[in-house]
Structure 1
Amino acid sequence: MGLFVALVEALRVALGMAWETWWALVLGFTLTGVVGEFVSEDAMTSLLGDDDWETIGLATAFGAASSSCSYSATSTARVFVEKGASFTASLAFMFASTDLVIELGLVLWILLGWQFVAADVVGGVIAVVVVAGLVRRYVPDDWIDAAREHALALGDTRCAACNMDADPDAPDTVVTEVDGRPQYFCCGGCERAFVAAAEADTDELPDASASTAGGIGAAATDDASGAGPLVSAEGWKRAGRTAIREWDMLWHDIALGFLIAGALEAFVPQSAWLDLFTVVGSSGPTWVVASVVIATLVGVVTFLCSVGNVPFALVLWNNGIAFGGVLAFIYADLVIPPLVSAYRRYYGTRMAATIFVVLFVASVVAGIVIHYLFGFAGLIPPTGVTNGTAPDWYTLPLNLLFTGVFIAELYVTYGARHLATVALRVPEAGVTALTLTAMAAGFLAGGGRTLSDGAAAASALLDVVATRLRGCRDDLETWTDATRARVRAWD
């Protein structure tokens, strides 16, 4: 029963982290949606034409107030480059948009403590300075010009709903035909929101050429500042749609981050982590540098991005990694293989390699500097000690409050009918978890010798779940049709 107990413990740890951070995630994504609606991409681009330090500072501030999705940030940076913004400022925006955003800070505060939030901000600024310095000093202008031409030559395959890049060959891209022309969507969530708004017969859909940094439904305005009317109900609806687009792009990474963290906590003994992080000793400059470099490499191979990294970072901190290594691990989310592949597609192989090296070096340097800076200031907590979990009485009411906000955002994004379809997608993760549990139980029942019992148990379980879901779908569609009929009658 050892394996089963470990599985239960892994799920318990993962669900505990998810419960503690749920309200912070909803709040963070909601704020991202608000900023995305009321600050336009064109207005930002017009301010990012130079690569002086003032412009880089503006780009960093814009990024910190924007999307927390690495993929969205990468795509937005490409749009900036195409429109003539400074390549250096675009990279600064991309970094800040992933690693200096509000939701990341909230989750860091809850799981690790305020010291890590402060270190993330200070270290992020250091990393941006390193990125800007390296690009300005060592990357030739003709390389940047070639990268810009490469991006312009790709053609327009951006998402019709959010203006994010929609690679026709990417598995998540949805391609439909409208009036004989292909219509691209970066993910199923964008397509559903687009269709739901169209069926509602509204004019809230964005012009792809005028999309904002936030994404879905963020309408451009005639005001040069790009600010929309804060009292507009339609503006707040669009902000809600932007928040849900962020969820649709990131929930896989966030959920996977919790599950990986739970599995590592349950299955990997502390001695294994100690062996890894003390390969060159357990103190001194060599240990700090080695710990930061190893953490950055681990960040590259985890394939996680942004907020999804934080639960994993908690496990690393609890098992002996240097303080600066935690930050370097988080910053490494922009050099994971899928994003490096995107850089290659956008800018060519040479510039993709350059971006990888620049961001990797920036992560390492920021991690080392922040370790000694916070150590000198006496702000590094004892190894493995966290001070960030909110009081228990905060968690329940805040989770209830922001669950209501989340449901409202789902409603304005998908509408009643499409919301039913979205609701039926929720059990998919549960079905997968139940299937794996059944497989494990069958494996244990067979004494660890065969998976046949597990396969049989999983098959039987899926038959039951499928039957229940079909019944739920029928009941939900009947209720939705009846509700819509009553609403029409009231009108």
Structure 2
Amino acid sequence: MLWVLLGWKFTLANLLLGIIMIIYAYALTKIWFPGHLEESAKHHAEEAQKSEGMDMEHGMEGSLRDKLLSLKGWQNIAHAFFMEWKMVWKEILLGFTIAGFIAVFVPQSFWSAIFLVSEGGAEASPGFFTVVENALVAPVVAFFTFIGSMGNVPLAAMLWSREASFGGVVSFLGADLVAATVIWVHAKYYGWAYALYLSALLYVCMVAAGITVHYLFALVGMIPTERPSLQEMVRFGIDYTFFLNLAFLAVAAALLWLHFRGGGGEAPVDAHDSRHQARA
């Protein structure tokens, strides 16, 4: 989708952004990572799984091939799939709903107003302060407009068409990691202390990586110059993405069927246990 809407240069920039963010995150956590947060997050995740009924046996004997070719292996996958969605579906639904309203009812002029543009306009090379401001603001915008990694791409295309800098758009593409819904899910799994630390770390990394990618591309003269309108870029068609969506909907339906067919993830009670419970 990114290639179709914004071209191969943005696609390459997005891949490079991820690599640079990993390097920056590794360096920052080496410098400062509170040890108590790790233990607290692990404990919170274990408690969250138990409270949601996710404390079930996932282990299986045998090789990976045996697990993939066995009914029990796929039932375990189906149970985990169902439990993960059960835990976060409310947050995801709320995030998509709010983001949809924002994307439809907030005018495009608002987005162009909060992103600085060079005095010479879109054709001029943005100054350093403009690049930094755009990269700082982009993740904040993504926090309120999260529609998903795929849904963020049309919004990134809109920002590019409204004269945001290359570095700002690239930062926006990586900012789904600090969207409100994602932070909420992290807090539910790992606790607020770890979620806020992780989000702050990722924010710093994506801003720095966006600026880095901008100037790496500027160094070799690869920053795109064409800014087509969003109407020219966005379209609906019966293409490969449509059929991929259908395929994955079918996979999801099959996993749900396996989950409920296998007892909804509940472990079977053998005769010995049932007699013991009856005596109790």
What's the TM-score once normalised by structure 2's chain length? Answer: 0.67
Aligned counterpart, 2:26: 132
Unaligned runs of 5+ in 2: 261-280
2:39 aligns with one of 149, 152, 155: 149
Contact 1:112 / 1:386 at 8 angstroms: preserved in 2?
no
Contact 2:135 / 2:211 at 8 angstroms: preserved in 1?
yes
CA change 1:123–1:252 in 2 (3 A) is same
Deviations 1:351-383 (A, max 9, x none): 444323211110101100111112233332225
Distance 1:341 1:391 in 2: 32
Aligned counterpart, 1:222: 61
1:333 aligns with one of 166, 173, 176: 176
Equivalence map 1:144-293=2 (5 Å): 144=35, 146-154=36-44, 155-158=46-49, 184=53, 208-210=56-58, 220-223=59-62, 226=64, 249=89, 253=95, 257=99, 260-264=102-106, 267-269=107-109, 272-278=110-116, 281=119, 283-293=126-136
Deviations 1:147-181 (A, max 9, x none): 2332344353317xxxxxx6xxxxxxxxxxxxxxx
Aligned counterpart, 2:251: 409
Aligned with 1:156: secondary structure?
helix
Aligned with 2:172: secondary structure?
helix
Contact 2:112 / 2:159 at 8 angstroms: preserved in 1?
no
Q: Which has the higher contact order (CA 8 A, sep 6+)?
A: 2
The letter for the 2-side match of 1:408 is A
- Give the aligned CA root-mean-square deviation in angstroms: 4.2
Instruction: State whether structure 2 residue 238 is matched by structure 1 residue 396.
Output: yes
Aligned with 2:53: secondary structure?
strand
Contact 1:131 / 1:362 at 8 angstroms: preserved in 2?
yes
The letter for the 1-side match of 2:116 is T
Equivalence map 1:77-116=2 (5 Å): 107-116=1-10
Deviations 1:224-250 (A, max 9, x none): 6x5556566776787788788779945
Unaligned runs of 5+ in 1: 1-106, 160-165, 167-182, 186-206, 211-219, 419-491
Aligned counterpart, 1:3: none
- Once the two structures are TM-superposed, the CA of residue 350 in structure 1 deviates from its matched residue by 5.0
Contact 2:158 / 2:229 at 8 angstroms: preserved in 1?
no
Distance 2:235 2:184 in 1: 42
The letter for the 2-side match of 1:208 is M
Distance 1:389 1:236 in 2: 40
- Once the two structures are TM-superposed, the CA of residue 312 in structure 1 deviates from its matched residue by 1.9
The letter for the 2-side match of 1:184 is G
Aligned with 1:363: secondary structure?
helix
Distance 2:113 2:172 in 1: 18
Identity of aligned residues (%): 27
What's the TM-score once normalised by structure 1's chain length? Answer: 0.42
1:123 aligns with one of 6, 17, 20: 17
Distance 1:382 1:410 in 2: 41
Distance 1:111 1:238 in 2: 38
The letter for the 1-side match of 2:201 is V
The letter for the 2-side match of 1:150 is S
Deviations 1:47-88 (A, max 9, x none): xxxxxxxxxxxxxxxxxxxxxxxxxxxxxxxxxxxxxxxxxx
Distance 1:322 1:401 in 2: 34
Aligned counterpart, 2:211: 368
Deviations 1:444-483 (A, max 9, x none): xxxxxxxxxxxxxxxxxxxxxxxxxxxxxxxxxxxxxxxx
